[in-house]
Amino acid sequence: MKKHNYSAGPCILPQEVFEKSAEAILNFNNSGLSILEISHRSKDFVAVMEEARALVLDLLGLTGKGYQALFLHGGASLEFLMTPYNLMTKAGKAAYLETGTWAVGAIKEAKAFGETVVVASSKADNFSHIPKQYTIPADADYFHCTSNNTIFGTQMKSFPETEIPMVCDMSSDIFSRVIDFSKFDLIYAGAQKNMGPAGVTLVVVKESVLGKTGRTIPNMLNLQQHIEKESMYNTPPVFAVYASLLTLQWLKNLGGIPAIEKINNAKAELLYAEIDRNPYFKGTAAKEDRSVMNATFLLEDESHTAIFDEMWKAAGISGLNGHRSVGGYRASMYNALPLESVQVLVDVMRDFETKISS
């Protein structure tokens, strides 16, 4: 039976990425060696790294605009502290928008480096919406936001105008929609949400914002050091970078971000229409802030949980349970999830309605 993978991360990737990755594990570039065993300094892998870094900037529309793309270790969570290390001055401060669990984590790390101002928060409402009215201090060293919140199913539909550097954690919606990425001075994203396997983190940074903190930064946490060493200051996660390159190539061949945005919107519209129509389900996020990537919803009557769970599992659906901290259901519709899989879930929800109503 075909599986329909709604996992929030590590998540679904294009089938051709699995196939090409599998081939490379056995024999990479007809070298007789596996991608798992080649030297990261070999000509073949250096070419992979160079193409991946260039393709990131190409897809984001940032080529030739003073940005560098890096593939690093540590997950997006390490960027929680690398961001203030590289951008917050010794006597300065940073401004943060608190919209979910990952924003809370980023704020906690920033506080260890200096004054950290939370300009707005939706915590009191269980992060069910994105704050709209807030003021960003003009004297802050940077402003940090999280574009999409996987746990609570909210997404920023627009971004503030500010003269200070803007940082964004785009772990769960990067490459999914058209944005003016030049608005941001630093973008980071764990690959395992929408770009590749777990084990590598993408960082895109405008070089002009670096080197101004007055801090002594450990080399492994210094973005300038990683730029100087062309994203290979230490041994990179070779396989994860390669699989990410394959995913980026797939996206480029599909038509890039404008093409995938249309597909993603169609998937989200199909599922949210059913959530709103079906009397046995209810969404958890404010409608104007609903995430295109992660749809969160509940049963109106939790006594029907066992029945619904049995039905979606029987249909080959996987990973639909909500995050352990909030419960309910979460349908993660990342780039590689086909519209067909969303239709299967919608059909199950309709069959469930018929079953309960009869």
What band does 90 get if pLDDT is binned at 50, 70 and 90? very high
What band does 228 get if pLDDT is binned at 50, 70 and 90? very high
Alpha-carbon distance 36 to 31, whole Å?
Answer: 12
pLDDT in tens, 171-222: 999 999 999 999 999 999 999 999 999 999 999 999 999 999 999 999 999 9
pLDDT in tens, 61-77: 999 999 999 999 999 99
| Nearest in space to 48 (alpha carbons), one of 233, 236, 269, 266 | 236
Alpha-carbon distance 278 to 251, whole Å?
Answer: 33
What band does 125 get if pLDDT is binned at 50, 70 and 90? very high
Alpha-carbon distance 71 to 204, whole Å?
Answer: 9
| Whether this model's pTM surpasses 0.85 | yes
139 included as an active-site residue: no
pLDDT in tens, 306-315: 999 999 999 9
| Nearest in space to 73 (alpha carbons), one of 175, 290, 195, 226 | 226
Q: How many CB atoms lie within 10 A of CB 319?
A: 17
- Percentage of residues in the chain having pLDDT higher than 90: 98
User: One of 93, 141, 169, 173 is an active-site residue; which one?
Assistant: 169
Residue ranges of domains in the chain, CATH in brackets: 15-254 (3.40.640.10), 257-357 (3.90.1150.10)
102 included as an active-site residue: yes
**Residue written as tokens 């997006």?**
76
pLDDT in the model for residue 326: 85
Q: How many CB atoms lie within 10 A of CB 254?
A: 14
Angle (deg, nearest 10), helices 256-277 and 43-60: 60
DSSP state of 323: P
312 included as an active-site residue: no
User: One of 93, 141, 185, 193 is an active-site residue; which one?
Assistant: 193
User: One of 102, 173, 250, 289 is an active-site residue; which one?
Assistant: 102
